């Protein structure tokens, strides 16, 4: 994977299971975090960031599965 696309790299050891707020996609220093996404964004807003990026950092020990809604017909 292209490292520029891996937004959680370096965050998973400390912030797993939380929502992390960074200033932008290119500047990934943590400005706020919380288990609640709204509280994390409010903390960033109080710190003066108007359009930060919110990232969920999953627990690396728990697999995450996503269903995309693709239908398959079995004949």
pLDDT tens-place string over residues 45-69? 999 999 999 989 888 788 767 666 6
pLDDT tens-place string over residues 32-42? 999 999 999 99
Considering the domain boundaries, does residue 21 fall inside one? yes
Considering the domain boundaries, does residue 70 fall inside one? no
Supply the range of the domain harboring residue 19.
Answer: 3-57
Considering the domain boundaries, does residue 69 fall inside one? no
Considering the domain boundaries, does residue 62 fall inside one? no
pTM exceeds 0.75 for this model: no
20 beta partners: 33, 55
Considering the domain boundaries, does residue 20 fall inside one? yes
Distances from the Cα of 60 to the Cαs of 11, 19, 23, 29, in angstroms?
Answer: 11, 14, 24, 20
Considering the domain boundaries, does residue 67 fall inside one? no
């Amino acid at each position: 994977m292209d490292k520029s696309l891996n937004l959680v790299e370096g965050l998973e050891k400390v912030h797993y299971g939380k929502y992390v707020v960074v200033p932008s996609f290119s500047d990934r220093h943590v400005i706020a975090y919380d288990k609640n996404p709204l509280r994390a964004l409010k903390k960033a807003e109080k710190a003066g960031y108007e359009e930060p990026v919110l990232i969920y950092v999953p627990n690396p020990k728990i697999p995450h599965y996503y269903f995309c809604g693709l239908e398959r017909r079995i004949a």
